[in-house]
Amino acid sequence: MRRSDHDVTNRIRTTEPADVREEVRCLYTQLYPEAPTKSLDLAFRDLTELYRGECGEYHPCDTEYHDIQHIMDVTLAMARLMDGYERRRNGHSPLPPTYFCIGVIAALFHDFGYLRRKADRTHRFGAEYTLTHVTRSALFLRDYLKRIGLGRYAMIGSSLVHFTGYERRTDSIRIDDPLFRRLGKCWARPTSSRRCRTAVTSRNVAIACTRSSCSAAWPVGRYRTAARR
């Protein structure tokens, strides 16, 4: 029986960011043996400190569904999607290591907008940001990528986050790079009853495609499972 604090393989404890970080690093270094892991390590460290309230500027996360385990679930799913794509590209463009890092970092911070600043005297709970949390996440990520030396991808990274929410229509999100756009679409929220669906819950990571074109566009390899509601 799969444990509720583990991923679908029952191997990775998704309540512990260090465990997820090691799994993501393992996937990354297998794909890109010579590539540095500094940006991944920094992002996992900073995200963990922020969600736990160890950064002086923000309160710890207080939204139950969008907790640290949800973030780790989503991040692990994204890393596995990218791993599956790169291993089975079937003639599609290769995924550069920096793109992999941007995908992981965007996943880590995609719900950051639920965190409240300590100086905020207007909102009592992070859930009050529900309608604007994606934009808040995008704005934070844009500045964060600049701070960790990935400023070249700041605008793209912040745009990727909008594929996870409802504040913008998917077709209005401006990303010219076709590979980054494909990366964003593997996250895209449902827009109709016939869609390619990525279901990620706070206690379970499950990926399902209701269109046959999904696996061709972004094959997930050995991580593909049935969606669970």
CA atoms within 13 A on the CB side of 45: 7
CA atoms within 13 A on the CB side of 196: 17
Query: What's the pLDDT at 51?
Result: 96
Eight-class DSSP state of 111: T
pTM, rounded to two decimals: 0.82
| Domain ranges within the chain, ordered by starting residue | 17-223
- Residue 182: closest CA among 193, 170, 192, 199: 170
Which residues of the chain have a pLDDT value below 70?
188-229
Query: What's the pLDDT at 145?
Result: 98
pLDDT tens, 169-225? Answer: 888 888 989 999 988 987 765 543 333 333 333 333 333 222 223 333 344 333 333
Query: What's the pLDDT at 91?
Result: 87
In 3-state terms, what secondary structure has residue 205? Answer: strand
Query: What's the pLDDT at 202?
Result: 30
Sign (positive or negative) of CA dihedral 83, 203, 18, 125: positive
Residues 144, 135, 200, 116: what is their CA dihedral angle, to the nearest 10 degrees?
70
Distance, CA of 119 to CA of 58 (rounded, Å)? 8
